[in-house]
Amino acid sequence: MAAERCSCHDPLVITVLIVDDHASFRFTARKLLEAEGFDVVGEAADGRSALEAAGRLEPDVILLDIYLPDIDGFDVALRLKATNHSAVILTSSRDGSDFGSLVRKSGARGFVPKAELSGASLTALLE
């Protein structure tokens, strides 16, 4: 179930869709990213709603948890790559080295550990 805001936004502001099955992480990530100038245009709690929200909202960036209850984040990223122009950035509470080449193979721009999430870490992967 995706929560959303107005899709009319400043083209110079990076829009973000946050996908995570934990509401507390979505809340924290939203507050952090909005405080750093990003426009969080939606949230999704699972892979299916992420795919739907990505198509409807067309965010610049999709912050995508790897461990979702229905479809894992790697599969969601692959599906998004085939149908969507958004930059996908994977995240997890686990270390990125745990995933080997799966991040690259998924078509994601990169990986940011949840504990290291910041506007700067997202921006670095978008350059």
The answer to whether residue 115 sits within a structural domain is: yes
The answer to whether residue 71 sits within a structural domain is: yes
The answer to whether residue 20 sits within a structural domain is: yes
The structure tokens listed for 21 are 């099955």
Q: Buried b / exposed e across 33-46, counting CB within 10 Å, b at 16+?
A: beeeebbbbbbbbb
Whole-number pLDDT of residue 10? 60
The answer to whether residue 67 sits within a structural domain is: yes
The answer to whether residue 114 sits within a structural domain is: yes
The answer to whether residue 72 sits within a structural domain is: yes
Q: What is the residue type of 21?
A: D
Segments forming the whole domain that contains residue 24: 13-126
DSSP string, 78-116: HHHHHH--PEEEEEESS-GGGGTTHHHHTT-SEEEEGGG
The total number of structural domains in the chain stands at: 1
The answer to whether residue 8 sits within a structural domain is: no
Whole-number pLDDT of residue 23? 98
Whole-number pLDDT of residue 12? 84
Span 84-97, pLDDT tens digits:
899 999 999 998 88
- Alpha carbons 98 and 24: distance in angstroms, whole number: 23
H-helix or E-strand containing 19? strand 15-19
Neighbours of 47 (CB within 10 A): 23
Give this prediction's pTM: 0.90
Whole-number pLDDT of residue 107? 93
Distinct helix (H) and strand (E) counts, the chain = 5, 6
